[in-house]
Amino acid sequence: MPNALGCIGLLGVLVIGTLWGAVQIKDGAAMEQPLLKPEIDGGWWQVAGNPDLGDYTTEKQQPVDFGIWQAADGTWQLWSCIRFTNCGGHTRLFHRWEGKHLTDTNWAPMGIATEADTSLGEQHGGLQAPHVVRVDATYYMFYGDFARICLATSDDGKIFRRVLNENGQPNLFSGPWENTRDPMTIRADNKYYCYYTGHTAIENRTAIGADFCRVSEDLRTWSHPHMVAFGGVAGRGPGSAECVHVVYREDVGLYYLFRTQSYGRDNVSTVYASPDPLNFGIDDDRYRVGTLPVAAPEIIINHEGQDYIAALLPNLHGIRVAKLRWVEVKR
């Protein structure tokens, strides 16, 4: 089985552009413009299921954090972290699917994409939640190895190779809390913002989770971590800030952040809108605009004039897609 990111595809297309509603927020207070929130528009269709992993297959395995994007040849790619497999260690590896059209159902399963490479410092079975941004003709993939955020690149959006640092490893950064994971990156103001999550234990040994961001001008050197979202009605637990996903709408100067609080049957993600890419509320819900009944959402912007959302199936046996629309929030 493949064991290198030399055979990995793009995970999680970067979504930057015009998607979100006309809302202005200043000093925590919304101005008198319409405030829009996302809403699922119609039914879902399934694009990926629970794959056959050969000797690694188990009855408990689950496709979880994933990315969806369009490769250079126009095909749609979907990669998911499959957890609770027989690969050993943390039980996680990447599997991929390919579709001709975003609106197609049941994309073709393409097999195991890659596994963690322990010779490069990655934790055994620890691959998590990659996400990709395209800069000019190069695709940059950020992914977690259960402790660090790592980097790989591609020319075609399908085949990736790890980018090794001066220590011969693919990691960019880790911390400040444990299990640094779920990276996604946007570009704004000629800088790159990499959002991710982590959790830690406080004095009474209760675990808490938060979303963080680091900033870079070159995708190699990153700033110190900024805590950008924590607590509030979305909760403070270790899984209260999962699968962070951020979109910037340039025309209104607002950043929108999704954070997932619950997987499975009661899946839910909270949505925030802020003028500051480094502040969506620390025990403060002033930027909260609503919730969606989804886990690990990925937004596809203006594909052939339509916005879409991809998310996990509630039974955690695959990934689904639906149209997305925007409705005004009543004040």
Task: pLDDT band for 17, please (50, 70, 90 cuts).
Answer: very low
Contact 285, 300 (CB under 8 A): no
Q: At residue 190, what is the residue type?
A: N
| Interatomic CA distance for residues 80 and 8, integer angstroms | 11
What percent of the chain clears pLDDT 70, i.e. is strictly above it? 88
What percent of the chain clears pLDDT 90, i.e. is strictly above it? 73
Which pLDDT value is given to residue 302? 85
Across the range 53-80, mean pLDDT stands at 95
Q: Is the dihedral of CA 177, 183, 186, 190 positive or negative?
A: positive
Residue 30: pLDDT over 90: no
Which pLDDT value is given to residue 15? 33
Q: What is the DSSP string of 280-303?
A: S-BS--TTEEEEES-SS-EEEEEE
The set of residues, in sequence order, having a beta carbon less than 8 Å from that of 43 and lying 6+ positions away, is 322
CB-facing half-sphere around the CA of 236: CA atoms within 13 A: 10
What is the third-level CATH fold of 5-328? Tachylectin-2; Chain A (2.115.10)
Instruction: For residue 40, give the DSSP letter.
Output: E
Q: What SS3 state is found at 329?
A: coil
Residue 28: pLDDT over 80: no
| Interatomic CA distance for residues 110 and 252, integer angstroms | 40
In the chain, how long is the greatest CA-to-CA distance? 58
Which pLDDT value is given to residue 326? 80
Mean pLDDT taken over the chain? 88
Q: Is the pTM of this model over 0.85?
A: yes
CA neighbor of 260 nearest in space, from 247, 244, 283:
244
Chain position carrying tokens 């990934």: 319
- Domain ranges within the chain, ordered by starting residue: 5-328
